[in-house]
Amino acid sequence: MHRKCDITVENIKEDKCKFCGKILPIYVTGQSSVVHIFKWRKEGFCSVNCKNEFNPILCKDVNCGRIIKRKIKRYCGYCSIECFRKNDLELYIKQGLKLPFGYIRGKELKRYGMMYEPTTEDEVIVLFSKIHERLGFTFIKIARKAYPDCICIDKNNNEIKIEFEYNSCSFKSHLGKENECNLVVCWEHDFIECPIKVISLKEFIKNDNIISVFEEC
């Protein structure tokens, strides 16, 4: 928190903090000629809080505007996870960017046994497993890590091969093998030119209708 400086006690002036007016602190070690000085003292502040209050960093949420007092609380320029979720969470997930502070839950859902909306492919799979019958599938036959992720049986007793993605645009990595898959199940559908059928669970929940899938398959 502090470091050694080649400054004698006699040479140190009793400067005051630019923000609160307190005398800037110093620490004297065993020998009176050796001192430690806070790193903020060179900038004219007695603490990091005074420094942040003097040069405030405001939350990027225009409806919030609170001062971000401590660096540890800066969530990509926002004062809290709530402000970040409201403004930039969907953009980070859509672009596949790594969240700088780990996992973050989605918006509140409280439907179909899910407390929050999916933010990962794994959560899309969990949601699908809870509503697959409403989507027109009678059984989940196989779930696996290999492509495609799942094989389901529809109401006509046909096998439907399914690939799960959070964003449908992630299916681009499988182009060239689309003949091995019948359906993409995703949360966000942003691959309009996708060569195979796509079901967006977000749109399904929004419309709350039973979708009839694949009459032709």
Q: What tens-digit pLDDT sequence spans the chain (217 residues)?
A: 444 444 444 444 567 777 677 776 655 544 444 444 555 566 677 776 676 666 677 788 778 877 776 554 556 777 777 777 777 777 776 666 666 666 667 788 888 888 888 888 889 999 999 999 999 999 999 999 999 999 999 999 999 999 999 889 889 989 999 899 999 999 989 889 999 999 999 999 888 644 444 434 3
Q: Which domain holds residue 167?
A: 108-207
**pLDDT recorded at residue 154:** 94
One domain for residues 46 and 80? no
Q: Provide the domain count of the chain.
A: 3
Q: Would you say residue 149 lies in a domain? A: yes
DSSP 59-124: -S-TTT--B--SGGG-BTTBSSHHHHHHHTHHHHHHTTPPPTTS----SEEEETTEEE---SHHHH
Say if CB 57 and CB 74 are below 8 A apart.
Answer: yes
Say if CB 136 and CB 212 are below 8 A apart.
Answer: yes
Q: Would you say residue 101 lies in a domain? A: no
Looking from the CA of 190 toward its CB, the CA atoms found within 13 Å total 13
Q: What is the pLDDT of residues 10-41, one digit of tens each?
A: 444 567 777 677 776 655 544 444 444 555 56
**pLDDT recorded at residue 34:** 45
What's the pTM? Answer: 0.57
One domain for residues 47 and 75? no
One domain for residues 10 and 60? no
One domain for residues 143 and 68? no
**pLDDT recorded at residue 105:** 73
One domain for residues 196 and 163? yes
Q: Would you say residue 100 lies in a domain? A: no
Torsion of CA 72, 76, 77, 80, to 10 degrees: -60
One domain for residues 176 and 195? yes
**pLDDT recorded at residue 85:** 72
Q: Would you say residue 71 lies in a domain? A: yes
Q: CA–CA separation, 149 vs 177, rounded Å?
A: 13
One domain for residues 113 and 170? yes
One domain for residues 64 and 132? no
One domain for residues 64 and 6? no
Nearest to 135 by CA among 144, 127, 143: 127
CB burial of 163-198 (b: ≥16 within 10 Å; e: otherwise) equals bbbbbbbbbeebeeeeeebbbbbbbbbebeebebbb
One domain for residues 13 and 32? yes
One domain for residues 124 and 195? yes
